[in-house]
């Protein structure tokens, strides 16, 4: 069995040179078919919409209702305990 060794320069010179086409940067690629393009970002200085203001006000009112219920729930047994301690 005979082994032939060739220098690397000879082997590389015979190989076909093909470069893959470069892909565009990620930001300029268009999304693939089943995916929609990303929505345009909302500007930072944009005014909140009426729905956002109404939702915020509704949440504030709901939180205030919970605070009132918890305070009454603590106050009534406390007053009953004080009344029992005073002998009423």
- Give tens-digit pLDDT for 4-20: 676 666 656 665 556 77
**Secondary structure of the chain: what % helix, strand, coil (to 5)?**
55, 0, 45
| Mean pLDDT, range 67-75, rounded to an integer | 96
**Residue 47 domain-assigned?**
yes
Place of tokens 């009344």: 83
Neighbours of 69 (CB within 10 A): 10
Inter-residue contact 2 to 8 (CB < 8 Å): no
**Residue 33 domain-assigned?**
yes
- pLDDT single digits (tens) 24-70: 666 555 656 677 777 777 677 777 788 888 999 999 999 999 999 99
pLDDT value at position 15? 54
**Residue 1 domain-assigned?**
no
> Hey, CA dihedral for 4, 7, 8, 11, is it positive or negative?
negative
Place of tokens 């305070």: 71
**Residue 46 domain-assigned?**
yes
Structurally, the chain folds into a number of domains equal to 1
- C-alpha span between 72 and 65 (Å, rounded): 11
**Residue 2 domain-assigned?**
no
Domain that holds residue 53: 8-86
Check pLDDT > 80 for residue 83. yes
Check pLDDT > 70 for residue 2. no
């Amino acid at each position: 069995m005979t082994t032939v060794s060739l220098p690397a320069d000879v082997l590389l010179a015979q190989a076909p040179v093909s470069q893959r086409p470069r892909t565009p940067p990620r930001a300029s690629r268009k999304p693939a078919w089943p995916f929609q393009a990303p929505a345009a970002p909302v500007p930072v200085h944009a005014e909140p919409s009426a729905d956002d203001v109404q939702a915020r006000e509704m949440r504030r009112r709901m939180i205030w209702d919970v605070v009132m219920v918890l305070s009454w729930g603590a106050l009534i047994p406390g007053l009953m305990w004080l009344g029992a301690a005073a002998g009423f």
